[in-house]
Amino acid sequence: EVHMSIHYALQKRDLYTNLEYKIGRERSSITEYDVVTMISIPVNSNELLLISTEPRADYLKIIDFIHAALDSQKNSE
């Protein structure tokens, strides 16, 4: 199941990358299921962070927190 989640997240990332010239760079993707919410956040061109949460978690807070942490890490390099 984990491998399938990764596979589908990478497929969606490829789709969004192909549309980047028109809609901009992907910042996050959210897929809600009955029992879990999946969040994918591109870290760089080679890495994708996948997060699973409870169905009604405040995923916008989670996304903001991850973006802040990634930005902080980039700034410290």
First to last CA, the chain: 35
> What pTM was estimated for this model as a whole?
0.75
**What does the pLDDT read at residue 68?**
95
Nearest residue to 53 via CA among 69, 70, 42, 65: 65
**What whole-number distance in Å separates Cα of residue 77 and Cα of residue 74?**
5
Note down pLDDT in tens along the chain; length 77 residues. 667 777 777 777 777 777 778 888 888 888 888 998 989 898 887 888 989 999 889 999 999 999 999 988 888 87
